[in-house]
Chains A and B, each alone.
Chain A
């Protein structure tokens, strides 16, 4: 039987996102990774914004005034929710690394997700005076 002898061999790859291919573990991983990337990008923007203090007190206050307008307050609450999800799922991963809770992995994911959404909602409520 003749084998394909090209230097590169074709294989099939399926999307992570199709139907039953998405399980709880995959969803948790994808959300963790996306939240991590978003938070790293946010971090770099944050350093730039807070870095306005180097220019002057007025520059800092002007920049902070801009990013405390109501649309940004909502984004900040979403940020809090993202941090909460990443942190809670991170703790879930650490529990696996310590050998605990592997068989309860779906439940732990559910708890992380619910608490993260709760964080978002609670921050919105707490910050309602700024909106």
Chain B
């Protein structure tokens, strides 16, 4: 077991005048994840430490936080792998761009409101006949769409995007990537409607290809790629072809 200094941003908006870092000393070994460190501190050092977690296996998206200046899933991040980044110290902070409820817990409501706004479900045109057999989608298209469907809504991309730092109305990478996943689905009949929702200054035009979202996504969704495709689709529709 090796020693570790952990700096955590503590903040209770009702009590504290400002967020402040507090340092804790713990021990870790080869298999310790950052989430394990949080458990250790809450269980044995300071029971008031507040954070979100659930599956502890990188699929629920609850535990996304900023670790050593980078958005990560704490259950998926091994201490031993990041110990060299900051001189033997680990810093844990809450996600950015969302209101802090307490300590490492943020209000993820706005993130999901924007997700809902892009209509993340297939829409069937009632005037079109239902096919006799099943909808056929090619293997290539399915594989392509699965990349953008792999999002676990952890909020890492939302926190990493600098545009959301200055503009709260921007829909954000996760919502836009999902919008692309549905706009590009051959079974969907509502592409025009979807492009109206995203083809404006709070949607795709706010993306300046900063690529932070692509770099921090734990599932490899590549929202930047999806947003560029949505831009193309919007322009094509505006200019009258496709």
Does A71 sit at the interface, judged by CB under 8 A?
A: no
Does A54 sit at the interface, judged by CB under 8 A?
A: no
Name B97's contact: one of A4, A13, A103 (CB within 8 Å): A13
Contact B215 A10 (CB under 8 A): no
Does B194 sit at the interface, judged by CB under 8 A?
A: no
- Give CA–CA (A10, B231) in the complex, Å: 33
Contact A25 B9 (CB under 8 A): no
Residues facing B in A3-29 (CB within 8 A) are 3-4, 9-14, 16, 18-21, 23-26, 28-29
Contact A21 B210 (CB under 8 A): no
Contact A29 B209 (CB under 8 A): yes
Name A26's contact: one of B69, B85, B106, B162 (CB within 8 Å): B162
Q: Which of B101, B162, B214 has the most CB of A within 10 A?
A: B162
Contact A25 B94 (CB under 8 A): no
Contact B13 A16 (CB under 8 A): no
Q: Which residue of B lies closest to A24 (CB)?
A: B211
Number of A-B contacts (CB under 8 A): 86
Does A107 sit at the interface, judged by CB under 8 A?
A: no
A interface residue count range (under 10 / 10 to 19 / 20 to 34 / 35 or more):
20 to 34
Q: Which residues of B contact A13 (CB under 8 A)?
A: 96-97, 165
Contact B231 A97 (CB under 8 A): yes
**Given known A-B contacts A20-B69, A26-B162, A26-B210, A12 and B9 have beta carbons under 8 A apart:** yes
Q: Which residues of B contact A97 (CB under 8 A)?
A: 228, 231-232
- Give CA–CA (A12, B94) in the complex, Å: 7
Does B179 sit at the interface, judged by CB under 8 A?
A: no
Could you jot down 16 A-B contacts, CB within 8 Å? A3-B101, A4-B13, A10-B13, A11-B98, A12-B11, A14-B96, A18-B69, A19-B68, A23-B211, A25-B211, A25-B212, A26-B162, A93-B208, A96-B209, A98-B232, A99-B229
Identify 19 new A-B residue pairs, CB closer than 8 A, beyond the known A12-B11, A102-B224.
A2-B14, A4-B14, A4-B99, A10-B100, A11-B99, A11-B106, A12-B100, A13-B97, A14-B66, A14-B69, A19-B68, A20-B68, A20-B85, A21-B69, A25-B211, A26-B162, A29-B162, A98-B232, A99-B228
Please list the residues of chain B having a beta carbon within 8 angstroms of any beta carbon in chain A: 9, 11, 13-14, 19, 66, 68-70, 85, 93-94, 96-101, 106-107, 162, 165, 208-212, 214-215, 222, 224-225, 228-229, 231-232
